Amino acid sequence: MTNCGVEILPDELQNELQKIAYGACFLGSGGGGGLDTSFKYINDYCKGGISKNLVITDLNKAQGSGIVVAYMGAPQKVGDVKCPDAICDGVKKYMDYKGVDLNDLKYIIPIEIGPVSMVAACLAAHRMGKAVLDVDGAGRAVPTLDLITYGTNAKTSVTPTILCSENHHQITLEISEVISDEKDEASDDSSTMESLARPVLCLPLFDQKAGLVMWYFPDVTVLREPNACVPGTLTFCRELGDAIQSKPKDKEFLPYIKELFESQSIYPAIKENYPAIREMCRGKLISATTSTAGGFDVGVITIEDEGDSARHYTIIFQNESLILWDSNYADPLAMAPDLISYLIEEKPFTNGDIMRGDALKEELHKKEIVVYGIAAPRVFVTREMQSNIMSVLNALGYYGKYEPFWKKQTLSMR
């Protein structure tokens, strides 16, 4: 530990990044890129030997400029990239666009929680000799840019947005804003940028995946404003991953991991960010199907109740798990923005990790799966964020209202 956060030594980098990926897999609600993909990135990156530290900086100690990075696209396609080349190319392009010396950039900022999202930000920061900021823009993985706090809550401009392919093709997307005296606050064009960026991913040059660079902060202290980001989540993922990997076999998962969620020992805001975690259901993993289109993996996971073969649970996902249904009830058991995470035989998976092609991996058929609900971070309380998440759920066919799972009393919940 340093007075600015965490400093990871070269000989510890591979192991520590794997902890981050493991925790981010559980906290990503099924998305944020595959765990297997993130491990591939880490192993490939560390293959040639590491000679410098990775610095993770506490938001309360941070001073200077930062930029948000990610890989955007369908999780099954993102596994093909060589991390973090496209992201680093995009950062250089972005700083040229802004006319800012790359040496003046202090921080790389994760876009969301997820194995690839967190690991890609860390590797890009390490490659470029920057620190990575201990925050993210959602407290989970999300399917669309308008669910990221940096634009929707912090009102940071999406112009420019840089998309970079593995073959060094780059597209710069800009939205011109008409200045009006009647406007009393900055607008958020994240949904417009989403509608521009997704078709780019479908071009043959990009093949459903790209390095994404956007949301530049000349001074990252603005992220200390309420709901501008979710602080402390990178180090929380690291501690969560370590706890999951080292859990004694004779201990039940929920009470064991609940202590970490409630301890506030990692970062004071974590308990406030995630006020509840609960087991929602358990059973046998029966099937999963997915199709890739428009930069999304969209699909359904079916679980047979462990005590009643006639009762089934269904997870609907669009990259991320968004709705959990119980065949015995008319209303969802859980729904976004609350997190829907699961363990298969006590190991976390993303929705992409359980697939081979467009179907469930044969070796996972009928394996025990336990699904957990985790209360959404408070950043989703803003009217815009609530409206944006409901638009995503509407597109999946759900037109009811949002009900937090942790305020319900349902027989399915353990």
pLDDT digits (tens, 9 = 90+) for 10-37: 999 999 999 999 999 999 999 999 999 9
Amino acid found at 192 = T
Q: Residue 20's domain spans which residues?
A: 5-237
Q: Is the same domain home to 280 and 374?
A: yes
Q: Is the same domain home to 284 and 226?
A: no
Q: Is the same domain home to 312 and 187?
A: no
Distance CA 342, CA 347 (A): 8
* Domain of residue 373, CATH code: 2.40.390.10
Q: Which residues contact 293 (CB under 8 A, 6 or more apart)?
A: none
Classify residue 262 as exposed, middle or buried by CB count within 10 Å of its CB (0-12, 13-18, 19+). Answer: middle
pLDDT digits (tens, 9 = 90+) for 271-304: 778 889 999 999 999 999 998 776 688 899 999 9
Distance CA 154, CA 186 (A): 9
* Domain of residue 165, CATH code: 3.40.1610.10
**Domain count along the chain:** 2
pLDDT digits (tens, 9 = 90+) for 178-215: 544 454 455 679 999 999 999 999 899 999 899 999 99
Dihedral (Cα; 152, 157, 160, 161), 10-degree rounding? -10
Q: Is the same domain home to 174 and 221?
A: yes
Q: What is the 3-state secondary structure (H, E, C) of 110-178?
A: ECCCCHHHHHHHHHHHHHHCCEEECEECCCCCCCCHHHCHHHHCCCCCCCCEEEECCCCCEEEECCCCC
pLDDT digits (tens, 9 = 90+) for 145-190: 999 999 999 999 999 999 999 889 999 999 986 544 454 455 679 9
Q: What share of the chain has pLDDT > 70, as a percent?
A: 93
**Cα of 412 vs its chain's centroid, Å:** 27
Q: Is the same domain home to 210 and 285?
A: no
Asked if residues 96 and 14 have their Cβ atoms less than 8 Å apart, the reply is no
pLDDT digits (tens, 9 = 90+) for 214-252: 999 999 999 999 999 999 999 999 999 999 999 998 999
| Domain termination site, one of 237, 266, 294 | 237
The DSSP bridge partners found for residue 281 are 371
Q: Is the same domain home to 182 and 328?
A: no
